[in-house]
A and B are shown apart, each in its own frame.
Chain A
Amino acid sequence: MQISMVEYLKLGSEPHLVANVCTACGTSYFDRRNACAACGAREFTTERLANTGEVRTFTIVHRAARGVPAPYISAVVDLDGGGRVKSNIINIEPTPANVTLGMRVRLATYVTATDDDGNEAVAFGYEPAAA
């Protein structure tokens, strides 16, 4: 069985992210909420986010946390239509020449780990997309 590695990644025929969106001010969040950090309201709806966007900032991590393969590209992506997400840039060599600020990217998924019962955890990252 496959399971998404975080609750806000939805699998299926077209994997995508969902956000908890404040019904009062429209601010979106990926985590479980008690109230809205922007306006204090307490009601949220779930909305689907776009799979495409552009790289707002990145770093290439060479000295990584224990057990994490390096180097890899960490980035913050501004999604088309709103929402900002942090993940890795994948499916390219992690060199400064290969990633540029403002680069167009799209969501892609891969199996990142398997548990003792054979379940596969699916992660998401962003790969370069045509402009």
Chain B
Amino acid sequence: MNNQDPVWILGTSMTKFGRYADKDLIDLAAEASLGALDDGGVTMADMDVLAAGCLYEANGGVGQRLQKQLGQTGIPVYNVANACATGATAVRTVMMAIKSGEAQMGLAVGVEQMGKMGMLGADRAARSDKQVFERKGRFGSVVGVEGRLGTNMMPGVFAQAGMEYAYENDGVGFEQFAKVAQKNHEHSTLNPLAQYRKAFTLDEVMSSEVIAYPNTLLMCCPTGDGSAAVVLVSDEKLKTLPREQQRRAVKVSASVLTSDPWTEGCQVQPDVNTLTRNAADAAYEDAGVDPADLDLVELHDCFATAELRHYDNLRLCEPGGAGEWIDKGGPWRDGEIPVNVSGGLLSKGHPIGATGVANLFEVATHVRGEAGDRQVPDAKVGLAHVIGLGSSCGVHILERSGL
């Protein structure tokens, strides 16, 4: 195989996101994996490699435990973790195995079972003050820094990321951030796989409980359970498969993973922008696609404040113009470039390991024309983006087969 040849999504599936007290992690991963294999018309015996992404059981051998329920064929298994980009990293791992020529077909699955985990961030690291002071860690701190020297909790970190955009640009404020949540909740009403499917007025979004201003409760994604999977196949192998499988295959025109390069202040307030811009620019170049060509985008709206910044980072709007873009309806499902027609993380949910695969499922389903009530009319090309703090960013561009 020539490593310039594209890799294809042959099959894909996801569980409904939600909270599953009656299922375990492997049940969820198995449901998505078997669904993706069935969708692609293949079996575990056809897989040359398996990558399993799961953050909270990263040391739990999730891939091997999954094989024991699906079929132990002895293929190499990679268990990966990369913050909120864990699922995208599993996909990249299989991509690299195929691109290198070591595999012709592989399964990438992302899964998480979080239940009602509460806010993520520094909560668990809080230190008791009842002690004799002793300097610890790289800052030589004698008491916990959370809440004393600002916040490291996710709602606040991403609120600050959004407010920094407001500092740098005009026409951005609480209302523009709130409109993001209004849109995504409205979109979710059409998605049967979403954790929450309830529309709210802008006033309801803005007047719900403040978690970390300007993020209210309805502007923060929930924790939850779920899984998503893709079967990837080489160009060479795809062309030996029956016509119908070739027709439904989705071309992966770009697959990029970046980490955060050093920028001013990045170790004080995480820079979620530069690595997203770098990933997006590389993906557009690899795919030969312009942002204006995109029929839909699934981006990482962990908080409403984050989504607004990413319109700019992914070049969906004019530089500095994200506030104006949402004011004129650009990212709505009937707008210029529909963003998060699935309901996004805000309403579809964010079981961390699953998220970066679920957004590929969503885009693939649209470019196949199989998205039912939420179908973006005649979608041919779409982009999927995830970002995990630390940081890691995955961007994929998918296109309709044409075969």
Contact = CB atoms under 8 A, between A and B. Distances in A.
Interface of A: 3-8, 27, 29-32, 37-38, 56-72, 74-76, 84-88, 96, 101-102, 112-113, 115-117, 119, 121, 123-124
19 contacts: A5-B148, A5-B149, A7-B140, A7-B141, A27-B262, A57-B166, A58-B163, A59-B213, A61-B151, A61-B213, A62-B209, A65-B146, A65-B153, A66-B126, A68-B146, A68-B148, A86-B149, A113-B143, A115-B142
Contacts of B133: 3, 115, 119, 121
Contacts of B151: 59, 61, 64-65, 74
A115 B132 contact: yes
Interface stretch (B1-9, B56-64, B265-273, B324-332): B265-273
A6 B213 contact: no
B266 to A, nearest CB: 8
Contacts of A123: 143, 148-149
Nearest to B135: A7
Given A6-B149, A65-B122, A121 B142 contact: yes
A65 B149 contact: no
* Chain B contact surface mostly: loop
A119 B132 contact: yes
Contact of A76 (B145, B209, B268): B268
Contacts of B288: none
Given A63-B155, A74-B150, 20 more contacts: A6-B142, A8-B139, A57-B161, A61-B153, A62-B213, A65-B146, A65-B151, A66-B123, A68-B146, A74-B156, A75-B150, A76-B150, A76-B269, A86-B268, A88-B150, A113-B142, A115-B142, A117-B132, A121-B133, A123-B148
B139 A7 contact: yes
A70 to B, nearest CB: 8
B126 A68 contact: yes
B167 A96 contact: no
Contacts of A84: 264-265, 268-269
Contacts of B160: 57-59, 74-76
Contacts of A56: 164, 167, 265, 269
A72 B209 CA distance: 15
Chain B interface residue bracket vs A: 35 or more
Interface in B245-290: 262, 264-265, 267-269
A74 B158 CA distance: 12
B147 interface: yes
B159 interface: yes
A116 B131 contact: yes
Contacts of A60: 210, 212-213
- For the complex, would chain A's binding face be called helix, strand, loop or mixed by DSSP majority? loop
Contacts of B264: 84
B126 A65 contact: yes
7 A-B pairs closest in CB distance? A7-B140, A68-B147, A59-B159, A84-B265, A74-B150, A60-B213, A31-B138
Contacts of A124: 149
A121 B126 contact: no
Contacts of A38: 262
Contacts of A63: 119, 155, 209, 211-212
A72 B151 CA distance: 9
Contact of A31 (B135, B167, B267): B267
A1 to B, nearest CB: 9
Contacts of B153: 61, 64-65
A6 B353 CA distance: 34
B155 to A, nearest CB: 7
B166 A101 contact: yes
B129 interface: yes
B121 interface: yes
A57 B172 CA distance: 13
Contacts of B209: 62-63
A57 B269 contact: yes
